[in-house]
Amino acid sequence: MDGRGREMINFLPLIYEDELLFSVISRYKQICGMESKRALEMDLFKIYKRMGRKSVLFPQYLDTFVSNLPPTSKLSIKEIITNHTMYPFYTAMLSEQKSQSVFIAMEKGYGKCIENMVGMAGSKVKSTNYLRYCPKCYKEDLEEIGESYWRRLPQVPGALYCPTHKVLYKDSNVVITDCRNDFYCVDEDTCNTEVMMDTNPNQFMLLNLRYMENVSYLFKQHVIKKDLTFIINFYIDRLRERGLASKGGKIYIERLIEAFLSYYPSDYLELMQSVVDIEKEANWLRLFVRNNNKNRSPLRHLLFLQFLGITVEELYSTKSTTGKQTILLKRTPLFDVEERRKQWLMIIEKNPGVSRSQLKQIGKGLHTWIYVNDREWYEEVTPRTRERKQKAEIIDWEKRDEGCLEFAKSAVERILNAEGKPIRITPSTIRREIGVSRWFNHAKLLKTRQYISDVTEDIESYRVRKIVWAIEEMIKQGEKLTVYKIQLKAGFGGGNKGIKDIIIKTIM
Ligand SMILES: [Zn+2]
């Protein structure tokens, strides 16, 4: 007996951009005036496949769902998965093959939670427990289309601000995680139009809107996936360009962590569920850049890309990477080196008193080869030039040193008096405060260097300063002081014993 015709649903509401499938079904239920969740599930997924709606973020058995749609419906499984579920975000950093198996699980049904497949279950980065929304989007929807709907964007972990309205997203009262939950619409029972007060520094919003741009890109573009090895190699290449990895691809992890922590305020990292505990040998950032197969949250990939100053689009449009490489010394027959050295010495001998750049002109190709392959020897034998001496004399190092010293002193003062969580005083934070690069470290700036080395804070004093700050801050706000709360306020995670002792000593 062919019963299909009778079981099909007659219509499906118009689907909005970025709307979750859960939301479409909720609106369908409301329009039909269906009371029973079971009847609805029977309608859409057949009752024996109840898993279809178990997950708000990753619905399953979409093939059954699509086959029950009215014949006029052009909605395809692919369209649902890529435009109306969280699939594009959570599979963004998975290989094509793995993404494909997630896709099939959503299409045909998997029986278990897809959250496990995409690594959400074991991840330290949790998705929210409630469906989230922007109060201004909600208000505008009501005014413009007479109803509102659940969007995907606010459900992304780390999505703090609505990119359109630049206000904080809020939790609704619809629980995502409870699979017995019913289908609820965005309306006055679940949401409201009140905008939350934003107490974050303005910088947080800017950082987060940048993050949201990358998230939106993942939702809008159907990217061709890269495997993890490619992505890690991509990171190594970019770190190498920034001097945070060696030519061979060894990552200078301490420097990387320092740079990362000076890019992101630790309170922001806390909001993004990604605090980097420098005390911990196995903090996430260390593990993140290591080439192992461990699952990494897409949130952290985006954080890391943003830190590198790279859009997610650039990652996907990159065709090839180098990653780690063995630097082989060019094997040149020995006589060749000797021959070249001889020639170079001859040039020097025949041209007494000329500058290095003139020598370079005279022995063009030879100079390049020696400079690249035999640099040490080159430095040893090639005379320093008059030209350079003259230049050097122009710079009055003592005077410059005085000036730099003043800069450094006022920078330190500014860092110490800055609002918010204390920043550690190090050569690089001082340089950053002044806005200068590494030349500031010049060997001839004697007093400046001495001063910087004197004021550089060791980690112990820095911790104490953070703790004192946290305590003062809490007293100001009339909070109750407990060791644990101080620890969190100062930005150290909860489990650190050494810190506890320092706090106790500080309070005593
Ligand atoms: Zn909005």
Q: How many Å apart are CA 411 and CA 405, to the nearest integer? A: 10
Residues 273, 170 share a domain: no
- pLDDT surpassing 90 at residue 234: yes
pLDDT-based confidence at residue 41 (cuts at 50, 70, 90): confident
> Exposed, middle or buried: residue 162 (CB in 10 Å: 0-12, 13-18, 19+)?
buried
Q: What average pLDDT does this structure show over 330-348?
A: 76
Q: Look at residues 219, 251, 270 and tell me which one is the last residue of a structural domain.
A: 219
Residues 89, 15 share a domain: yes
The string of pLDDT tens digits covering residues 61-88 is: 899 889 888 888 888 999 999 999 999 9
Task: Give the residue from 241, 132, 240 showing the smallest Cα distance to 190.
Answer: 132
Residues 446, 362 share a domain: no
Cα of 416 vs centre of ligand 1, distance in Å, is 38
Check residue 52 and give its pLDDT.
46
Cα of 134 vs centre of ligand 1, distance in Å, is 5
Residues 65, 8 share a domain: yes
Structure tokens at 126: 């949790």
Lowest mean pLDDT among 20-29, 133-142, 306-315, 434-443: 434-443
55 part of a folded domain: yes
- pLDDT surpassing 70 at residue 51: no
Q: How many Å apart are CA 404 and CA 172, to the nearest integer? A: 54
Cα of 165 vs centre of ligand 1, distance in Å, is 4
Check residue 357 and give its pLDDT.
84
Cα of 325 vs centre of ligand 1, distance in Å, is 46
Contact indicator for 434, 408 with CB cutoff of 8 Å: yes
Helices (H), 96-160: 96-108, 114-117, 135-145
107 part of a folded domain: yes
Distances (CA, A) of 92 to 190, 227, 276, 292: 30, 10, 23, 18
Check residue 333 and give its pLDDT.
56
Say how many C-beta atoms besides its own lie within 10 A of residue 196's C-beta: 11
Residues 468, 453 share a domain: no
Q: Look at residues 68, 91, 117 and tell me which one is the last residue of a structural domain.
A: 117
Q: How many Å apart are CA 83 and CA 270, to the nearest integer? A: 30
- pLDDT surpassing 90 at residue 15: yes
280 part of a folded domain: yes
Count of the separate structural domains present in the chain: 6
Check residue 76 and give its pLDDT.
94
Q: Look at residues 375, 394, 413 and tell me which one is the last residue of a structural domain.
A: 394
417 part of a folded domain: yes
Cα of 219 vs centre of ligand 1, distance in Å, is 17
73 part of a folded domain: yes
State the residue for tokens 């997203």.
Answer: 169
Domain containing 359 equals: 334-394
The string of pLDDT tens digits covering residues 126-146 is: 888 899 999 999 999 999 999
pTM over 0.85, yes/no: no
176 part of a folded domain: yes
Cα of 141 vs centre of ligand 1, distance in Å, is 10
Cα of 169 vs centre of ligand 1, distance in Å, is 8
Residues 275, 366 share a domain: no
Say how many C-beta atoms besides its own lie within 10 A of residue 241's C-beta: 10
Coil, strand or helix at 251:
strand
Check residue 12 and give its pLDDT.
82
Cα of 268 vs centre of ligand 1, distance in Å, is 21
Check residue 414 and give its pLDDT.
86
125 part of a folded domain: no
Cα of 167 vs centre of ligand 1, distance in Å, is 7
Helices (H), 395-458: 397-417, 427-434, 446-455
What are the φ and ψ backbone dihedral angles of 407, each rounded to 5 degrees? -55, -50
Residues 135, 207 share a domain: yes
123 part of a folded domain: no
